[in-house]
C-alpha cells in the first residue's frame, strides 16, 4: 500500500533525488547540518544510528525543522525501528534486509528502504511487498551495470543506490530509470562539520541538486 508519506517522499525525490546522511553526536550540530542541506535544496535527510546520541539528533531535527523530511538509517533491529518510529522518523533505512524490520515498517505504513545487493535479496524484498529498496554498497555491488541487470528483471522495483555515490558518479546512477534517489555521506563531510563550515555543506547540496536536475532533464 502506498502511504501519504510514500507520496510525500516521492514528490520530494522528483524535485531533488538525493538523500544526505547525517552522522552526529550533538543535536545542535545535527540541526545546523540539516538546515545547511535544506538551504542548498535538499530537504530529505537520513540520520544514521551510529552514535550514542543519534536518536536525540534525529528528534532535534524533527522538532526544529518541520520543513525537512527526516528518516533514520543504519536501523538494524526491530527495537531500533520501534525507537525511531516512536520518535517520529518518517522513513527507515537499513544496510541489509531483515524481514522483521521490513514487516514492522510495512505494518506502520512507514516507508522502508532495506539494503539489497543480489537478485535473491531483491526478490525477497519483492515477496515481502517492498517496491523500493536500497542498493548497497552501490559502487562495490556492481554499480550501474548491476543496477541495470537487476532492473531488467524486477520491472516494478525501484532502487536507492547508496555507498560509494558521490558528485563524480551521481549523474550516472540517476540516469538509470529505476533509481528513485541516491543516498550518501559525501554531502556531509566530517571536516566541514567539525570546522563549523556549514556553507560548504550548502554548496555541496546545491551542486548535487544541479547534477541531479541535469541528469534527469
Question: Which positions are catalytic?
Answer: 46, 134
Per the CB < 8 A criterion, the answer to whether 162 and 136 are in contact is: yes
Q: Does 162 bind ligand 3PG (CB under 6 A)?
A: yes
Q: Does 163 bind ligand 3PG (CB under 6 A)?
A: yes
Could you tell me the end-to-end alpha-carbon distance of the chain, in angstroms, rounded to an integer? 29
Q: Which of 126, 121, 127, 73 is nearest to 97 (CA)?
A: 121
The residues in 105-144 that bind ligand 3PG, with binding defined as CB under 6 A, are 136
- The DSSP bridge partners found for residue 46 are 21, 71
Q: Which of 17, 40, 73, 143 binds ligand 3PG (CB under 6 A)?
A: 73
Nearest distance from C-beta of residue 164 to ligand 3PG, angstroms: 5
Query: C-alpha grid cell for residue 147?
Result: 543496477
Q: Which of 17, 27, 41, 183 binds ligand 3PG (CB under 6 A)?
A: 183
Cα–Cα distances in angstroms (integers) from residue 109 to residues 36, 69, 86, in the given order: 29, 15, 13
Nearest distance from C-beta of residue 166 to ligand 3PG, angstroms: 7
Q: Where do contacts with ligand 3PG occur on this chain (CB under 6 A)?
A: 21, 48, 73-74, 95, 136, 162-165, 183-186
Amino acid at each position: 500500500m502506498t502511504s501519504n508519506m510514500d507520496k510525500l517522499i516521492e514528490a520530494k525525490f522528483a524535485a531533488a533525488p538525493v538523500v544526505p546522511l547525517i552522522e552526529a553526536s550533538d543535536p545542535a550540530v545535527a540541526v545546523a547540518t540539516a538546515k545547511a542541506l535544506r538551504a542548498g535544496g535538499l530537504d530529505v535527510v537520513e540520520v544514521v544510528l551510529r552514535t550514542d546520541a543519534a536518536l536525540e539528533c534525529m528528534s532535534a531535527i524533527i522538532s526544529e525543522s518541520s520543513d525537512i523530511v527526516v528518516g533514520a538509517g543504519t536501523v538494524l533491529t526491530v527495537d531500533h525501528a520501534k525507537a525511531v518510529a516512536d520518535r517520529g522518523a518518517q522513513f527507515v533505512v537499513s544496510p541489509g534486509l531483515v524481514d522483521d524490520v521490513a514487516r514492522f515498517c510495512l505494518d506502520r505504513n512507514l516507508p522502508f528502504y532495506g539494503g539489497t545487493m543480489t537478485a535473491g535479496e531483491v526478490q525477497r524484498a519483492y515477496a515481502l511487498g517492498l517496491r523500493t529498496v536500497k542498493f548497497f554498497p552501490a559502487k562495490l555491488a556492481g554499480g550501474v551495470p548491476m543496477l541495470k541487470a537487476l532492473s531488467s528483471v524486477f520491472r516494478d522495483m525501484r532502487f536507492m543506490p547508496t555507498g560509494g555515490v558521490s558528485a563524480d558518479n551521481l549523474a550516472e546512477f540517476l540516469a538509470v530509470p529505476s533509481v528513485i534517489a541516491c543516498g550518501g555521506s559525501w554531502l556531509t563531510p566530517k571536516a566541514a562539520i567539525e570546522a563549523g563550515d556549514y556553507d560548504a555543506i550548502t554548496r555541496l547540496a546545491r551542486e548535487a541538486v544541479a547534477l541531479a536536475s541535469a541528469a534527469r532533464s
